[in-house]
Structure 1
Amino acid sequence: MIRDRGQAEARLSTGFSGTELQAGYQVTDKLVVHTALLTYGRAQGSHKLRSADLGLGYYYNSPNGFWRLGMHGGLATGGGRSGSSGASFEGSEATPAVDYRVRYTYAYVQPTIHLMEDRQTWSFGLRVGRAYYHRFTQVGADTLGGPVNTVDYGGRQLSFLQAGFQYGYRLSPRVNLSTTFGAQAFIGNGGPVEVGMSSGLVGQVGVHFTLRELPKLRR
């Protein structure tokens, strides 16, 4: 929701896909620096992954200030574990028979569009990335209590596509509420088939805090 040079923002959001802390700063009229820390998974530690990313966004601003076109790019790293029969980091039912440990890095580009009014913001982004798995280990047994087998998928790569929509509403000059929905899909070949079975849905609500008042838009 950053709109003006020198504005900084922090956002805390949570939902069925996890919890995220984001921060951004608009360096110039067109350049934004942003970072995020994310933890996602299920309770009891059976699906727990954490990631961090750092990126830049460059915007074209409309003359009336009511819409922006941008391109973001960045790097992210993360890792964790998932106890799952379908190797689903976020979505499938857990079973004690299979456990996955992962550590990864990925790069991405993300075109975005923002529509803005004085109190409301609609945003859409489409992220395309390529992940490299430094570690991807499957430990499990064919039957409960049976012999343990280990499969190493480390060194594999996989491309992915993420689409996200966010609606924001300004409660005050310094506080905004938002809701976010998104979907993710893995594309192409190159990675272990288990990765492509993970849940691809995201849903969050968040609170944004700005460090100075947003400028009033003029038609």
Structure 2
Amino acid sequence: MQAFEYKVVPAPAKGTKAKGVKTAEARFANSIDILLNDMAAEGWEYQRAELLPSEERSGLNGSTTNWRNVLIFRRALPAAAEQLQAQAVAQLAAQITAQLAAQPPAQAADHSTAAAAAAPPAEETPAVPTLGPATTSAVAPPIAIAGDPEAPAGAIAVPGRGARSMVADDGVEELSPVSGLTAALKARASLAATPKDGPAKPAPKAEPKLTRSEKSSEDPANS
């Protein structure tokens, strides 16, 4: 059985002003609304409103009876609820133990077998496909070029030749060093300088090189 605790608070006697609330009835309802929301935030559930008599002292020796409006709230006791649940579970376990002890051993074994059969089967781990009964090594999944429409299902995608070349390319153009103009480049340059319609310009004659003895004979200062 669920256990509760109760709380009784006096009902509001005056209205509370708020934006858009103009009439006296609306302000009084606003006071009750504020009180109920504050109690609900603390876990209290509203039950009912009561008008109860209250005998109060009046004067030196007299007394008078006044009627008071009160609001009643309640909330569940979590500790008591857990305790009751634990007691119910303990009682059920004791009853099951007593019933099993009173039954013959054969019937108890039958009940155990039935309980094991009713239990859900354990999940089996899928077996890894092997090459055959003579080996225990797992079959490697197939490999296919990335983007191949005819690739088998479950194949591992690998980059193709073009993708590998793009990855290896660092964007720098390779240039071979040139030590000087070759004979073919010189010949092409001379042909480009010669006009097509005009006669070919004769090559300049090579001047004979003078030896050291001839240069000395031409200079009169050295004779």
TM interval, short-chain normalised: under 0.3
Mark the structure with the bigger radius of gyration.
2
Q: TM-score, normalised by structure 1?
A: 0.18
Q: TM-score, normalised by structure 2?
A: 0.18
Higher relative contact order, chain-length normalized (CA < 8 Å, sep 6+): 1
Which of the pair is proportionally richer in strand? 1
Which of the pair is proportionally richer in helix? 2
